[in-house]
Structure 1
Amino acid sequence: MSDLPWLTILIVVPLVAAAVIWLVPGVQRAARTIGLAVSLVVLAGFVVMASGFDLGLAGEYQFVEQASWIPQLGVSYALGVNGLGLTLVGLSVFLVPIALLAAWREQEVVPEGAVVARRQAGFVALVLALEATMVAVFSARDVFLFYVVFEAMLVPVYFLIGGFGGTRRRYAATKFLVYSLASGLVMLVGVIALGVLGPGGPDGFLIDTLTGAELGVWTERWIFISFFIAFAVKAPMWPVHTWLPDAAQQASPGTSALLVGVLDKVGTFGMLALCLPLFPEASRWAAPVIIVLAVVSILYGAFVALGQRDVMRLIAFTSVSHFGFIVLGIFVREEVALVGAMLYMVAHGVSTAALFLISGFLTQRGGTQEIGGYSGMQRVTPVLAGTWLIAGLATIALPGLSGFVPEYLVLLGTFRVNIVAAVFAVLAVIIAALYILLPYQRIFTGPRNETLAALPDLGAREKWVVAPLVAAMLALGIVPGPVIDVLRPVAEEAAIEQPSSVDAMAGALTDGSSDAAAAFAEGSEK
Structure 2
Amino acid sequence: MSNFPFLLLLTLVPLVGAIVVAVMGRERSNEDSAKKIAVGFGLIELALAIWMFFSFNPDGDRLQFVTSMNWISPLGVKFALGADGIALLMIVLIALLVPIVMIASWNRESLGDEVNEPGSLDPERAPAGTRAQMFAWILLLEVFLVVVFAATDVFLFYVAFEAMLIPTYFLIGGYGSSQRRPAATKFIIYSLVGGLIMLGSVIGLYVVSKDQLGEPNFDWTALQGLDIPASTQTWLFFGFFIAFAIKAPLVPLHTWLPKSGGEAPVGVGVLLVGVLDKVGTFGFLRYCLSLFPEASQRWAPLVLVLAVVGIIYGAFQAVGEQDMKRLVTYTSIAHFGFIALGIFAFTTQAGAGAVLYMFNHGIATGMLFLVVGMVVARGGSRRVNDYGGIFVVAPWLAGFFFIAGLASLALPGTNSFVSEFLVLLGSFGTEPVFTIIATVGFVFAAIYVLWLVQRTLHGPPSLLVEERKKFFGDLSKRELGILTPLVALIFFLGVYPQPVLNVINPAVEATLQNDVGIPDPGAPPYADQNGGGQ
TM-score range, shorter chain: over 0.9
Aligned: 1:121 with 2:123: no
Contact 2:109 2:377 in 1 (8 A): no
RMSD in angstroms over aligned alpha carbons?
A: 2.0
Aligned: 1:494 with 2:511: yes
The match for 1:476 among 482, 486, 493 is 493
Question: Equivalent residue for 1:21?
Answer: 21
Residue 490 of structure 1 and its aligned partner are, at CA, apart by 1.4
Contact 1:203 1:209 in 2 (8 A): no
Query: How far apart in 2 are the matches of 1:351 and 1:5?
Result: 30
Question: Equivalent residue for 1:293?
Answer: 306
Query: How far apart in 2 are the matches of 1:278 and 1:296?
Result: 26
Residue 215 of structure 1 and its aligned partner are, at CA, apart by 1.8
The match for 1:423 among 436, 452, 460 is 436
Q: SS of the counterpart of 2:59? A: helix
Question: Equivalent residue for 1:94?
Answer: 96
Question: Equivalent residue for 2:119?
Answer: none
Q: Please list, as runs of the form range in 1=range in 2, the aligned pairs for 1:299-338 lying within 5 A after superposition.
A: 299-338=312-351
Query: How far apart in 1 are the matches of 2:228 and 2:283?
Result: 19
What letter matches 1:314 in structure 2? L
Residue 40 of structure 1 and its aligned partner are, at CA, apart by 0.4
Aligned: 1:144 with 2:155: yes
The match for 1:46 among 43, 46, 49 is 49
Query: How far apart in 2 are the matches of 1:399 and 1:96?
Result: 28
Q: SS of the counterpart of 2:299? A: helix
Residue 278 of structure 1 and its aligned partner are, at CA, apart by 0.3
Q: Please list, as runs of the form range in 1=range in 2, the aligned pairs for 1:255-270 lying within 5 A after superposition.
A: 255-270=268-283
Question: Equivalent residue for 2:453?
Answer: 440
Cα 1:201–1:152 change in 2 (3 A) is: farther
Query: How far apart in 1 are the matches of 2:445 and 2:395?
Result: 23
Q: SS of the counterpart of 1:51? A: helix
Query: How far apart in 2 are the matches of 1:355 and 1:196?
Result: 46
Aligned: 1:35 with 2:51: no
The match for 1:235 among 248, 256, 262 is 248
Query: How far apart in 2 are the matches of 1:13 and 1:476?
Result: 28
> Normalising by structure 1, what TM-score?
0.92
Question: Equivalent residue for 2:481?
Answer: 464
What letter matches 1:177 in structure 2? I
Residue 500 of structure 1 and its aligned partner are, at CA, apart by 5.3
Q: Please list, as runs of the form range in 1=range in 2, the aligned pairs for 1:126-525 lying within 5 A after superposition.
A: 126-198=137-209, 199-200=212-213, 204-449=217-462, 450-454=466-470, 455-495=472-512, 496=518, 498=520
Cα 1:309–1:492 change in 2 (3 A) is: same
What letter matches 1:210 in structure 2? L
Query: How far apart in 1 are the matches of 2:418 and 2:216?
Result: 39
How big is each residue's C-alpha offset from its partner over 1:49-73, in whole Å with a ceiling of 9 and x where there is no partner?
2232112126x00000111111111
Cα 1:426–1:2 change in 2 (3 A) is: closer
What letter matches 2:305 in structure 1? V
Report percent identity of matched pairs.
46
> Normalising by structure 2, what TM-score?
0.91
Query: How far apart in 2 are the matches of 1:372 and 1:419?
Result: 39
Contact 2:201 2:240 in 1 (8 A): yes
Contact 1:381 1:456 in 2 (8 A): yes
Q: SS of the counterpart of 2:249? A: coil
Where does the alignment leave 5 or more consecutive residues of structure 1 unmatched? 503-522
Contact 1:74 1:200 in 2 (8 A): no
Cα 1:476–1:236 change in 2 (3 A) is: same
Residue 448 of structure 1 and its aligned partner are, at CA, apart by 1.0
What letter matches 2:45 in structure 1? V
Count of equivalent residues: 504
Query: How far apart in 2 are the matches of 1:355 and 1:202?
Result: 49
Question: Equivalent residue for 1:6?
Answer: 6
How big is each residue's C-alpha offset from its partner over 1:439-475, in whole Å with a ceiling of 9 and x where there is no partner?
1100111121222333101111001110011011111
Question: Equivalent residue for 1:65?
Answer: 67
Query: How far apart in 2 are the matches of 1:72 and 1:310?
Result: 52
Query: How far apart in 2 are the matches of 1:112 and 1:299?
Result: 39
Cα 1:200–1:343 change in 2 (3 A) is: same
Q: Which moved more, 1:80-89 or 1:12-21?
A: 12-21
Q: SS of the counterpart of 1:64? A: strand
Cα 1:22–1:524 change in 2 (3 A) is: farther
Where does the alignment leave 5 or more consecutive residues of structure 2 unmatched? 115-122, 513-517, 525-530
Query: How far apart in 1 are the matches of 2:491 and 2:258?
Result: 28
